[in-house]
Chains A and B, each alone.
Chain A
């Protein structure tokens, strides 16, 4: 995945065939973070009223539902990908890039949670968790590509 050019409202990327398949397969995994993962407060749990916690969970759930719906439409849009040689050109607006960053990080963090929240050096891969490791690493690579493009 490489940036072709950055325009006023969007970035134009080139993805070769396998990259496009990997990215779209990865995005279809959203959402990955378990809803109970988020905590409203930490040091002073007495402040974490049930109401505030419920508000946070409802807000995140609404956001996830809306994001999933928009993502499905985005992935299914036949006009989004333009065949170019052995790959595709894809134009992504800045709000869409922001949403993709949120989605990719949900996948990255959710995969990490599924792996048992290991520290930076994971010595033993839990049985049956190769897919989670793959998703976590791949999401990070696509995140960096997007961030580099936005920063350029």
Chain B
């Protein structure tokens, strides 16, 4: 005989919906920069500093991550901002993409 499951809701509590559709304005998109053998390391650092306003140390950290690990997750943003950053990075001819943060 199957076990009966009783909902454990207390009076006065509000049950949140399990799956709420993500708005395109919610930070849920990852901007990723990929390694290639052509972009100069100093140039990539400069681009990160220019686009994201990062200090040199942070920009170099991400540049080295791209160089050594093949890619670096740069920011997690809303869809609009992520698209903006991808466009900015590609204007500098860096290999940048955006992915949904699952």
Q: Which residues of A line the B interface, CB within 8 A? A: 33, 38-44, 47, 52, 55-56, 59-60, 63, 98, 101-102, 105-106, 108-110, 112, 117-120, 136, 140, 143-144, 147, 150
Contacts and interface: CB of A to CB of B under 8 A. Distances in A.
Contacts, number: 65
Nearest to B42: A147
Contact of B100 (A44, A56, A108): A44
Specify the main secondary structure of chain B where it touches its partner. Answer: mixed
Contact of B42 (A33, A108, A117, A144): A144
Given A39-B97, A56-B86, A98-B50, A108 B38 contact: yes
A118 B37 CA distance: 8
Interface of B: 32, 34, 37-40, 42-43, 46, 50, 83, 86-87, 90-93, 97-100
Contact of B34 (A42, A108, A117): A42
A42 B97 contact: yes
Q: Which secondary structure dominates chain A's binding surface? A: helix
Given A42-B97, A52-B83, A112-B38, A147 B90 contact: no
B99 A43 contact: yes
A40 B98 contact: yes
B87 A56 contact: yes
B43 A109 contact: no
A52 B83 CA distance: 9
8 contacts: A40-B97, A47-B99, A52-B83, A108-B38, A109-B38, A110-B93, A120-B37, A143-B43
A140 to B, nearest CB: 6
Which 8 pairs of residues, A with B, have the shortest CB-CB distance?
A42-B97, A109-B93, A112-B38, A105-B93, A120-B37, A41-B97, A119-B37, A38-B90
